[in-house]
Amino acid sequence: MPHKTSKIMTKNLKEQQLSIQKKVGTNIQTIREHKGLKQIDLASKMLGKFDTTNISRIESGRTNATLFTLYRISLALEVPLSEITSVD
């Protein structure tokens, strides 16, 4: 039977993960809008195929984007990866 403390720690980790996903998504949306781009514009600038629904999910924090996807987004937005992943 799992220990109560481990359940609390797991819940806290999940909350931290969601918080980080939302912050990164907000960073991406802010930069994209500042550059006058729509989600479809960003998707079309990315290396390889990328759907606008994926951009929407990332920006809203509903998905945990891979590091490579974040890298591709940073290239398309022409900003350092650190700019979109800053969560401080």
Residue-level pLDDT at 4: 64
Domain count for the chain, please give it: 1
Of 77, 80, 62, residue with least CA distance to 32: 77
Residue-level pLDDT at 83: 97
pLDDT tens sequence across 7-19: 666 778 899 999 9
- Helix, strand and coil content of the chain, in percent to the nearest 5, comes to 70, 0, 30
Dist CA 69 CA 50 (whole Å): 9
Q: Can you tell me which residue has the tokens 């700019």?
A: 83
Dist CA 51 CA 26 (whole Å): 18
Domain that holds residue 29: 4-85
pLDDT tens sequence across 21-72: 999 999 999 999 999 999 999 999 998 888 899 999 999 999 999 999 999 9
Read off the CATH number of the domain in which 16 is found. 1.10.260.40
